[in-house]
Amino acid sequence: NAGVTQTPKFQVLKTGQSMTLQCAQDMNHEYMSWYRQDPGMGLRLIHYSVGAGITDQGEVPNGYNVSRSTTEDFPLRLLSAAPSQTSVYFCASSYSSRGSSYNSPLHFGNGTRLTVT
Amino acid sequence: GQQVMQIPQYQHVQEGEDFTTYCNSSTTLSNIQWYKQRPGGHPVFLIQLVKSGEVKKQKRLTFQFGEAKKNSSLHITATQTTDVGTYFCAGRHKAAGNKLTFGGGTRVLVKP
């Protein structure tokens, strides 16, 4: 199994450009999410999805869009890139744990390092 | 919003010594997970604690969940160079629909 695959690994954008970060998982996980990682800030949730056709906002959703047309894929779109979006982006997935106090661990992709100039 | 604070932010440890990193939440947690991220890598799940006062061990790593389920700790004994990395706690807040919130992480550097 490939696990969680993110592309590209690196990307440089100019302010105002748009792009899509790709994320795919082959573990049949219902739950998928996007995080951004900035120094000293830990991992902050951007958007998440509990299943195909369902998405919701996390802590820092502004400037990003997502869609979940299939169980496997969860792309993250930057509509108009800004320097504040320079960060490392991680996609993560897990089995859904609705109504349970036990939550399946997150499986992370290798990340996309994005620089916006 | 719900917050998870992690201290210290940095930890310089002499090889062979012990250290502890702490995780504190502003509200009661359903459970807490710990992850390790090696330099240049991605976070990897280590363990999950669910019960009040729970203690779990993984070789030289000991994880504790507080009685009030608002704090947790990770204690590493006899630190090795392989322990280098950033350790994150991530708590699920009952009051926030069980959303997972990550702490800021403790970056561990080991001096040989």
pLDDT, tens digit (0-9, with 9 covering 90-100), for A4-63:
999 999 999 999 999 999 999 999 999 999 999 998 778 999 999 989 999 999 999 999
Q: Tokens 């710990």 sit at which residue?
A: B34
pLDDT tens per residue across span B13-30: 999 999 999 999 988 998
**Which residues from B are below 8 Å from A29, CB to CB?**
none
Nearest chain B CA: its distance from A65 CA (Å): 19
What is the DSSP secondary structure assignment for residue B46, as one 8-state letter? E
Rounded to a whole number of angstroms, the distance from the CA of B30 to the nearest CA of chain A is 6
d(CA A101, CA B31): 7
How many C-beta neighbours within 10 Å does residue A76 have? 22
Beta bridge pairs of residue B71: B24
Would you mind telling me the total number of residues written for chain A in this entry? 117
Compute the mean pLDDT over every residue in chain B, rounded to the nearest whole number: 93
Measured distance CA(A20)–CA(B79) in Å, rounded: 41
pLDDT band at A101 (very low <50, low <70, confident <90, very high): low
Q: Please tell me the predicted confidence (pLDDT) of residue B51.
A: 95
CB neighbours of B62 closer than 8 A, spacing ≥ 6? B55, B56, B74, B75, B76, B77
Judged against a pLDDT cut of 80, whether residue A96 lies above it is answered with no
Q: Which residue of B has its CA nearest to A110?
A: B42
More confident residue, A18 or A103: A18
The stretch A80-102 carries a mean pLDDT of: 85
Tell me the sheet residues that pair with B108: B11, B85
A99 pLDDT higher than 90: no
How sure is the predictor about A1, in pLDDT bands with cuts at 50, 70 and 90? low
Peptide bond into A75 cis (omega under 30): no
The SS3 assignment for B93 reads: strand
Of B101, B71, B85, B38, nearest to A44 (Cα)?
A: B101
Residues of B within 8 A of A106 (CB-CB) are 33, 35, 43, 45, 90, 100
Question: Of the given ranges (A42-46, A68-72, A101-105, B52-56), which has the lowest mean pLDDT?
Answer: A101-105
The answer on pLDDT for A107 being more than 80 is: yes
* Cis peptide preceding A8, ω within 30 of 0: yes
